[in-house]
């Protein structure tokens, strides 16, 4: 509950911060309400690119990417857009989602100030998701957006351990938003899936045993009928003088009664028969 309260409190606090709200909308199922009035050209590209990604509109993203990629970037550039984490992550998602040329964006990232976020940006763009130097929250959120099949159980565990490290600071809004979203993904992907799988296995076991019980009764009765029919066939093959000695009808009735009684009134015999059927299907009771 502490985490939920903390997350709710934080999301409430950014209600009047459109850039942060837009990022949260990108990485979650929240609706993007559009860009505010009177924004800079760079922020306009950010909002428009984000909206294109949410709407899966490649043509619109291409227009925005063409605008931003005209800008020249030099080594150790101080240009604000180069160090705008919100914009760079959005562009990375769009470039990979819509299969755009990534050379310009890779050049921008390599001219940023070095740090964990920059390293993760480069690794996301080049497909190096397993690097220990990555920000695990960012990787998890990124994969959830673009390719959920690449999310592994080990990755979920590693991300959780990294995010639980009290030494790591989440004061930065960009990282904090990804941190909260990554926790949601861990809960959504790992815990319910494991629980559901165990639940389904237990339900299957219950249904399986009930069906085997019915199946064993049917097989057991067919076995009895088979013995009776076999005995009757054997008696029919006996010479006529032997048939006079043996009252086949009484014998069959008596044999059927004995076998039937042994099945109906000696539960251990039926239980053993059912266990034999279970083992035949690979189930060890």
> What pLDDT is attached to residue 153?
79
Give the pTM.
0.66
Per-residue confidence band for 1, with pLDDT thresholds at 50, 70 and 90? very low
Taking the CB of residue 281, how many other CB atoms lie within 10 A of it? Answer: 9
Provide the mean pLDDT of the chain: 80
Per-residue confidence band for 140, with pLDDT thresholds at 50, 70 and 90? very high
Per-residue b/e over 171-201, b at no fewer than 16 CB within 10 Å?
eebbbbbbbbbbbbbbeebbeeeeeeeeeee
In this prediction, residues 203-230 reach a mean pLDDT of 74
d(CA 215, CA 275): 12
> What pLDDT is attached to residue 195?
47
* Highest mean pLDDT, choosing among 31-45, 113-127, 244-258: 113-127
d(CA 152, CA 157): 9
In sequence order, what E strands does 114-263 have?
Answer: none
Q: Domain coordinates of the chain in residue numbers? A: 2-189, 195-280
Per-residue confidence band for 42, with pLDDT thresholds at 50, 70 and 90? very high
Which tens digits make up the pLDDT trace of 199-214?
Answer: 565 566 677 777 777 8
Which tens digits make up the pLDDT trace of 88-100?
Answer: 999 999 999 999 9
For residues 151 and 85, which has the higher predicted lDDT (pLDDT)?
85
On the question of pLDDT at 262 being above 60, the answer is: no
Please tell me the least confidently modeled range out of 52-66, 90-104, 189-203. Answer: 189-203
Per-residue confidence band for 167, with pLDDT thresholds at 50, 70 and 90? low
On the question of pLDDT at 234 being above 90, the answer is: no
Closest CA relative to residue 145, chosen from 114, 185, 106, 198: 185
On the question of pLDDT at 193 being above 60, the answer is: no
In this prediction, residues 62-88 reach a mean pLDDT of 91
């Amino acid at each position: 509950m502490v985490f939920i309260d903390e997350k709710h409190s934080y999301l409430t606090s950014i209600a009047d911060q459109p850039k942060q709200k837009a990022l949260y909308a990108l990485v979650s199922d929240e609706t993007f309400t559009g860009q505010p009035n009177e924004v800079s050209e760079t922020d306009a590209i950010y909002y428009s690119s984000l909206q294109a990604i949410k709407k899966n509109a490649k043509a619109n993203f291409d227009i925005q990417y063409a605008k931003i990629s005209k800008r020249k970037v030099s080594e150790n550039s101080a240009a604000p857009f180069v160090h705008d984490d919100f914009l760079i992550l959005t562009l990375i998602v769009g470039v990979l989602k819509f299969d755009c040329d990534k050379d310009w964006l890779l050049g921008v990232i390599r001219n940023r100030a070095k740090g964990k976020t920059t390293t993760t940006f480069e690794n996301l763009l080049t497909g190096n998701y397993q690097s220990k130097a990555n920000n695990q929250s960012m990787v998890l959120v990124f994969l959830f957006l673009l390719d959920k099949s690449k999310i592994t159980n080990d990755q979920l565990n590693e991300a959780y351990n990294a995010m639980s490290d009290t030494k790591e600071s989440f004061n930065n809004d960009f990282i904090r938003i990804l941190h909260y979203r990554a926790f949601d993904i861990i809960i959504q992907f790992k815990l319910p899936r494991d629980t559901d799988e165990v639940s389904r296995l237990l339900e299957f076991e219950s249904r399986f045993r009930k069906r085997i019980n019915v199946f064993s009764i049917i097989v057991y009765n067919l076995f009895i009928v088979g013995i009776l029919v076999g005995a009757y066939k054997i008696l029919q093959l006996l010479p006529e003088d032997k048939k006079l000695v043996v009252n086949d009808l009484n014998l069959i009735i008596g044999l059927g009664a004995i076998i039937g009684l042994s099945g109906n009134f000696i539960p251990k015999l039926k239980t053993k028969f059912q266990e034999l059927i279970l083992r035949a299907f690979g189930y060890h009771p």
